Structure 1
Amino acid sequence: MKLKTRIGVILGGLLILTWCLLPVAWIISLSFKSQKSVTEGSPGFLPTEAGFAGWENYTSVLENEQFRRAIFNSIGISLIATLLSVILATLAAYAIARLEFKGKKFVLTTALVIAMFPVVSLVGPLFDVWRSIGIYDTWIGLIIPYMSFTLPLAIWTLSAFFREIPWEMEQAAQVDGATSWQAFRKVIVPLAAPGVFTAAILTFFFAWNDFVFGISLTSTESARPIPAALSFFVGADPFNRPASLLAAGAVVSTIPIVIIVLLFQRKIVAGLTSGAVKG
């Protein structure tokens, strides 16, 4: 690689990193500022000595009963939605990859259309239906929409993995005495583990980061997730939102996602790029 090209690649990479990480760095910096310095318009990226709040904002956020309840709701709803979506997507993707039946292309097309459907357009009808059947402001009222939007992507991801697995491996397991279910559970699913893992991660991310459903289909802290709960943070002055507390809450809610990405980034990339290159 020529020197000019190498310098261009390095500069381009630094520019992209700066563009992507600057908002994150700004939120972290804001979370360590005092509310007074934010209100008075403290200049500069780093908090001044007088406006440095230390860990006070994080302590206040974690001691807030509303926020702790929101963390519990997000963890429970996200894990349940992820588990159910992965189980259903695994079975559906296996059937689509292995079986020949009429309407298979229609099923895949419909699933893709559902995944691309605008979320905002469904909030009004879901609000009326959920109130009528009594699941408004409940966990299940959020789990169902999350599954509806994550299942199509999970099915597409897993079907690509199942197509790459040789059919002969399943037949060999059946010849050795395994039933169809045993061959699927002990041979096919372990081989498709990267795809299953990727589908689970993507589903968890969608459920954890959702704001529209979380704020529209809940009215109390009983089922309100973290993104929606942050919008209800108010300080002593209702016309002056506690920006530093909101920044600290945003950082806390982002930490699980960052940890998951750093620990499992290779599996996520492998799952997303599966089937892109053949040969």
Structure 2
Amino acid sequence: MGTKNRKSQLLWGVGSLLIIAYALVPVLWILSLSFKAGDDINNTQFLPTPLTIDGWDPASLSLDNYATVLSSDLFLTALRNSVGISLIATSISVVAATLAAYAVARLEFPGKRVLLGVALMITVFPIIAIATPLFDLWRVIGLYDTWPGLIIPYLSFSIPLSVYVLSAFFREIPWEMEQAAQVDGATSWQAFRRVIVPLAAPGVFTAAILTFFMIWNDFIFGITLTSSEAARPVPAALAFFSGASSFEQPTASIAAASVLVTIPVIILVLAFQQKIVAGLTNGAVKG
């Protein structure tokens, strides 16, 4: 048994390393590309040149790409749009989904399972299927190339996802705790706000993070429903990035911009990783 356990652990370890390498190598390559300058982007070395006799020279790292990106009005405006749209859509989605998921978890009504099934179906519905109809509709009613024109489609997909995640989490909270609060004199709203919501905080954080990531990384709506810098988010704006000049390949600059827009995602994951894991695992314990 001891030999089998060691072999099993070894296989799991090797498999984990392969998965980690598969996930990290493209990220590390983009990070390396973001520090290369000029014609150096055409070489196949992982680290920027030059190589000295003693090894790689850290002085060969160039921050010019990051300086170019941070001084670009196109990138800064797109970053402002992404932050504003993502925060507004996430806030509305989480508040609406929290109320809806609580009703789904606590009330019994006909079609309850069908409602959750439809919510799950919406989350996997291909975005490209409605991008073109929305393009035509938004141009007619005046929402094209505006923040609301992006926020509304994002809510259409993020609220069902949040409802599905939060309803499973609310079902784990004992009904007796809310009844005890009401016995002590709390109203239904006070019991929900002061007892249920704090207990459901891991699930709420999970829904908020998943929603924020989905909106932050969206490209299809961003490129289809905008035509100028007025509302164009970062993923779509990178397609129009031209670098320091029109005669320079923007590859390294786009890599630097990609690294910069990934930093907020990494910070959020590291800051709330315990709540995210708790929310995902807790909601999956019972159906």
Q: TM-score range by the shorter chain?
A: over 0.9
1:73 matched residue in structure 2: 81
2:49 matched residue in structure 1: 48
**Residue correspondence of structure 1 range 102-113 to structure 2 within 5 A:** 102-113=110-121
Unaligned runs of 5+ in 1: none
Let me know the Cα RMSD of the aligned residues: 1.7
The AA in structure 2 aligned to 1:23 is: P
Farther off after superposition, 7-16 or 246-255: 7-16
Contact 1:161-1:192 within 8 A present in 2 as well: yes
Q: CA deviation at 1:210?
A: 0.4
Within the candidate set 5, 25, 28, 2:28 is matched to 25
Q: CA deviation at 1:18?
A: 1.0
Q: CA deviation at 1:114?
A: 1.3
Cα distance in 2, alignment partners of residues 153 and 252 from structure 1: 27
* Residues matched between the structures, number: 275
2:200 matched residue in structure 1: 192
Contact 1:86-1:199 within 8 A present in 2 as well: yes
Contact 1:205-1:257 within 8 A present in 2 as well: yes
Cα distance in 2, alignment partners of residues 54 and 127 from structure 1: 41
Identify if the C-alpha distance between structure 1 residues 96 and 270 changes in structure 2 by more than 3 Å, giving closer, same or farther: same
Contact 1:164-1:275 within 8 A present in 2 as well: yes
Unaligned runs of 5+ in 2: 52-58
Within the candidate set 182, 185, 193, 2:190 is matched to 182
Q: CA deviation at 1:131?
A: 1.0
SS at match of 2:241: coil
SS at match of 2:240: coil
2:13 matched residue in structure 1: 10
Q: CA deviation at 1:8?
A: 2.6
Within the candidate set 68, 85, 99, 2:93 is matched to 85
SS at match of 2:226: coil
The AA in structure 2 aligned to 1:34 is: A
SS at match of 2:171: helix
SS at match of 1:177: coil
Cα distance in 1, alignment partners of residues 241 and 38 from structure 2: 13
The AA in structure 1 aligned to 2:67 is: T
**Residue correspondence of structure 1 range 1-279 to structure 2 within 5 A:** 2=3, 3-38=6-41, 41-49=42-50, 52=60, 54-235=62-243, 236-237=245-246, 241-277=249-285
Q: CA deviation at 1:224?
A: 0.6
SS at match of 1:231: helix
Give the TM-score normalised by structure 1.
Answer: 0.94
Q: CA deviation at 1:105?
A: 2.0
1:213-239 CA-partner distances (Å, limit 9, x unpaired) = 00100011111111001110124447x
Farther off after superposition, 112-121 or 9-18: 9-18
SS at match of 2:163: helix
What is the identity percentage for the equivalent residue pairs of Structure 1 and Structure 2? Answer: 61
Give the TM-score normalised by structure 2.
Answer: 0.91
The AA in structure 2 aligned to 1:12 is: G
SS at match of 2:227: coil
Q: CA deviation at 1:117?
A: 1.0
Cα distance in 2, alignment partners of residues 84 and 5 from structure 1: 46
Farther off after superposition, 92-101 or 5-14: 5-14
1:75-113 CA-partner distances (Å, limit 9, x unpaired) = 100000000000100010000000111222222122122
